[in-house]
């Protein structure tokens, strides 16, 4: 049955037309949905979402324009959107469930959110401080603490001696501690001048 006939059948005899659509495309829709939610959802979640996809298809049947895409394409788009919505919902629910399986209290969620925001702010400040070190110190810190490179690798990449890299790391750490309000080593002007 061609798409135009399928749509006409769904309009004239909704039960039979929709049954044919489901029979024809259920495997495709399930694959799309389960592929999106498999890391956070169950097969039951996927089956419920598949039902929602076919219901949404039926509710939108009068707006389907076959010049813009086939029934298969419309179903795939609906499945994608429904699965993404379900994934987000499941992630939200999972993030509010404690280790013992019970919902966390609002205060716990609020505390976690505040903690996450504080961590982001601390990371931003740290990155700004590292950026203020200038080159090649900035690159040395990125290579050492972000990429995990050894002194020898950094020295080779930047055409520096090993002991120069070590000294720059040592001095850079002192500067960062000062800039971030940590332990001060010596007078301010000497520290920042190095």
In a domain, 127, yes or no: no
pLDDT range class, residue 18, cuts 50, 70, 90: confident
How many domains are there within the chain? Answer: 2
Q: Which two tokens stand for residue 85?
A: 């919505």
Phi, psi (degrees; rounded to nearest 5) at 67:
-70, -25
How confident is the model at residue 115, as a pLDDT?
57
Indicate the average pLDDT of the chain: 78
How confident is the model at residue 51, as a pLDDT?
93
How confident is the model at residue 31, as a pLDDT?
92
Of 111, 123, 10, 109, the residue nearest 57 (C-alpha):
10
| Alpha-carbon gap, residue 29 to 23, rounded angstroms | 11
| Alpha-carbon gap, residue 178 to 90, rounded angstroms | 44
Domain ranges, residue 146? 132-193
Q: What is the pLDDT of residues 36-78, one digit of tens each?
A: 888 888 889 999 999 999 999 988 888 888 888 888 888 988 9
State whether 7 and 79 are in the same domain. yes
State whether 151 and 86 are in the same domain. no
pLDDT for 79 beyond 80: yes
CATH number assigned to the domain comprising residue 46:
1.10.1740.10
| pTM, 2 dp | 0.49
pLDDT for 100 beyond 80: no
State whether 8 and 87 are in the same domain. yes
């Amino acid at each position: 049955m061609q798409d135009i006939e399928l749509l006409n059948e769904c309009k004239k005899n909704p039960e039979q037309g929709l049954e044919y659509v489901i029979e024809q495309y259920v495997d495709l829709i399930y694959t799309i949905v389960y592929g999106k939610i498999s890391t956070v959802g169950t097969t039951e979640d996927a089956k419920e979402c598949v039902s929602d996809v076919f219901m949404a298809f039926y509710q939108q049947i009068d707006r389907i324009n076959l010049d813009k895409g086939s029934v298969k394409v419309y179903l795939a788009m609906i499945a994608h959107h429904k699965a993404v919505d379900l994934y987000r919902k499941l992630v939200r629910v999972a993030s509010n469930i404690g280790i013992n399986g019970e919902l966390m209290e609002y205060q716990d969620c609020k505390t976690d959110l505040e903690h996450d925001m504080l961590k982001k702010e601390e990371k931003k400040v740290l990155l700004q401080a590292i950026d203020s070190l200038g080159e090649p110190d900035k690159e040395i810190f990125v290579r050492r603490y972000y990429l995990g490179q050894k002194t020898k690798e950094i020295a080779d990449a930047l055409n520096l001696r090993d002991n120069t890299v070590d000294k720059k790391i040592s001095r850079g750490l002192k500067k960062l501690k000062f800039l971030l309000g940590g332990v001060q080593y010596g007078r301010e002007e000497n520290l920042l001048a190095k």
